[in-house]
Structure 1
Amino acid sequence: MVAAYEAQSQPFTTLFADAAVATLPIGPASKVLDVATGTGAAALAAARTGAEVTAIDFSAGMVARVRAHGAANIEARQMDGQALDLPDAAFDAAVSVFGVMLFPDWRAGLCEMARVTRSGGSAAIAVWKSADGAAVHLLLSQIIRRLYPDNVTPMPCTGLAELADPGRLAAALVAAGFSDPAIAEITHDFKLNVANPGDIDRLFEFMPHWSGLDADQSAAVARAFRSEIERGRVGDSFAIPSTALIATARRA
């Protein structure tokens, strides 16, 4: 599962991780926390500045993958981002790229990021601008809404919808203990490999919106999805523009 995620998604999410980390005033003397590190895109970007990075994730598989990068200045630890086993004010900066928004208690995740960041330190949070996420999730949701507007299964993570609004995102950061939030938008294309149609069909099985469709609806949505691909593909690649909000803030 980790390998599949990394092959399909990391080149895409790395674009946003690099942008988020670039907003942080960090360097060789800095201590940085990456919350919900995944396969380590943000942690690696921070490590390239010379900072000492602690990368945490709930998944043991993700933590193992970050360790496999072999970066001497990254310590990867398995940990719950909603209840960090870390001391107060231990970091100069904290970052989370498409992580905290997925927590069952995303407010606790933001509060924990604030708790472990020193006063005057910095934070960067990346979330999707759409409550439907990005990439294949986003396109599939758009098609389902178009064909069956009354049959859309809500995404299971409430943070996706709540933090997709710039005003609510800024307010959530302030409520967590940060100040001076600023929100920027950034868009990149997710490049879906469409060489093998069977691979595309298997992607649907992991998407919440797909589970709410009956057999006839599933077939109609799949046909519409393939039609979109045929109209827009360039060779074996199909681009899905996806927009993120990158929020920066200072620890109060």
Structure 2
Amino acid sequence: MQQGEQANQMRFDDPALWDKMAAIYEAQAQPFTAHFADAAVATLAIGPSSNVLDVATGTGAAALSAARTGARVTAIDFSAGMVQLVRAYGVANIDARQMDGQALDLPDGAFDAVMSVFGVMLFADWRAGLREMARVTRPGGSAAIAVWKSPDGAAVHLMVSRIIRTLYPDIVGQSPATGLTELADADRLAAAVIAAGFTEPTIREVSHDSILNVGDDKGADRLFEFGPQWRVLNEEQRAAVVREFAAEVERGRVGDVFRIPSTALIATARRRPS
């Protein structure tokens, strides 16, 4: 790899990236990802007596969903910006803490349920993230892990990656996180969950459309820079991708609405007995 290519590498393990992304993600992505967070939480038998851990909480969609059941939720993220945002919601039964999900500063078996919605898949060591989730789950406790079915993710990133491959098939961007590719398969996801210390995983597909309001654009193109394929393009190529993105939106819009179908895999499992 050349020095210039290294400079363009996206570092999903850099909390500064997520600090920068927090406000944009909350405005653009959370209304969409909240559908999947609700679906993941619905697989967990939790309520007011439950202690729940949300790993890589991001802007807190899953933590908020779990908190609505009355559960006591610990929401962790390595990004100070994300944690600050979740704390700002002021939800009494959410305790947001800055913490590395690959090495949780939490006791064994402390939680009735653990979850990670589009989080662990981005870890540099996603296997360690899954093992840590299992370690802090009580025997017989439950887990829900949501990942994207496509290695390109979903919504705007999914569409932009497809456009880049169509326009520039010889350009191959780096995979920013091996978990994006490895876990985007039901059999491999189930095997990874078992290897981490869980048992009897069930995998189901959940699909929702990402909806862009063309008449009230809030800057979806600001998300482009957080896509790994974007980093390997020069300015002329980026301009061409932006034009094609706008053209596809124009061709596919219905009124002020443009939809991007996206699919997640949600794994649900139990912690193995001690």
The alignment partner of 1:205 has SS state of helix
1:149 aligns with 2:142: no
Residues 147-172 of structure 1: CA deviation (Å, up to 9, x unaligned): 22221203311110011011110000
1:91 aligns with 2:117: no
Taking the aligned partners of 1:74 and 1:217, their CA distance within structure 2 comes to 44
The alignment partner of 1:156 has SS state of coil
Q: TM-score, normalised by structure 2?
A: 0.87
The alignment partner of 2:150 has SS state of coil
For the 8 Å contact 1:132–1:155, the answer to whether it is kept is: no
5+ residue gaps, structure 1, are none
Q: CA deviation at 1:134?
A: 0.6
Q: CA deviation at 1:49?
A: 1.1
Taking the aligned partners of 2:218 and 2:238, their CA distance within structure 1 comes to 15
Partner of 1:137: 157
1:238 aligns with 2:248: no
Partner of 1:186: 206
Q: CA deviation at 1:200?
A: 4.6
1:169 aligns with 2:220: no
Aligned AA (1:143): I
Q: Percent identity?
A: 74
Residues 77-115 of structure 1: CA deviation (Å, up to 9, x unaligned): 110000000000000100000000011111100000000
User: C-alpha root-mean-square deviation of aligned residues, in Å?
Assistant: 1.6
Taking the aligned partners of 2:72 and 2:220, their CA distance within structure 1 comes to 39
For the 8 Å contact 1:187–1:244, the answer to whether it is kept is: yes
1:48 aligns with 2:71: no
Partner of 2:125: 105
Q: CA deviation at 1:221?
A: 2.4
Partner of 2:43: 23
Partner of 2:15: none
Residues 24-83 of structure 1: CA deviation (Å, up to 9, x unaligned): 011111111000111111111111111111111111121112112222111111100000
Partner of 1:81: 101
> Could you say if the C-alpha distance between residues 12 and 201 of structure 1 is closer, same or farther in structure 2, counting changes exceeding 3 Å?
closer
Partner of 1:63: 83
The alignment partner of 2:29 has SS state of helix
Aligned AA (2:55): V
Taking the aligned partners of 1:40 and 1:93, their CA distance within structure 2 comes to 16
